[in-house]
Amino acid sequence: MKRTSMDRFINTIEWIAAGFVGLVAANIFISVLLRNLFNYSIPDSFDIGRLMLGILIFWGIAATSYRGTHITVDLIWGNVGPKYQRWVDVFATLVLLFVVTVQTWTLFDKVRGTYNDNVTTFDMHMPTWPFFAVAWAGDVSAVLLIAIRTWRLIFDPEEMHDPKVAGTE
């Protein structure tokens, strides 16, 4: 299997999402450990954890959207032939592309709003807009990966590394 620069880009997005999983888990683990063993609370740990969880969600959308590993209902897909399965995949991916593109647009408005309103965390008064901006970058990555998936489903299905998709022609 050849590795293209597009595949490396996709893998990079997935590794970034995995890194945020690790950061969220470390934040929770360290906060609980310090609170229970030393009766000490990290300032803004709740706010940071909440904001990082939002980042994780949007980067997770990017990671799962390309692979098609999100929740699906295959009622129609499972009852049609390979040619129509491919068109169902294309249609579903186009709908997902539209929805995530609109979501990305509205999330940018949220980034701008938190920046303009100078929204900060409770304890240390850190600005929250950088967290929203990183989440927005994850959403932009999701749009790019869904567009790549759409392109490959239509024009180059053998490049899809999903055996369910690659065999349909």
Dump pLDDT digits (tens) for 52-70.
Answer: 999 999 998 888 887 766 6
Across 27-49, average pLDDT: 93
Long-range contact pairs involving 129-134 (C-beta distance under 8 Å, separation at least 24): 131/51, 131/52, 131/54, 131/55, 132/51, 132/54, 132/107, 134/55
Interatomic CA distance for residues 44 and 158, integer angstroms: 48
Across 75-96, average pLDDT: 87
Of 109 and 80, the one with more pLDDT: 109
Shortest CA distance to 141 belongs to which of 1, 5, 11? 11
Of 134 and 61, the one with more pLDDT: 134
pTM, rounded to two decimals? 0.83
Interatomic CA distance for residues 99 and 93, integer angstroms: 10
pLDDT at 30: 95
Interatomic CA distance for residues 110 and 112, integer angstroms: 5
The percentage of the chain sitting over the pLDDT mark of 70, rounded to a whole number, equals 89
DSSP letters, 44-73, are THHHHHHHHHHHHHHHHHHHHHHHT-S---
Mean pLDDT of the chain: 87
Residue 76 has pLDDT above 90, yes or no: no
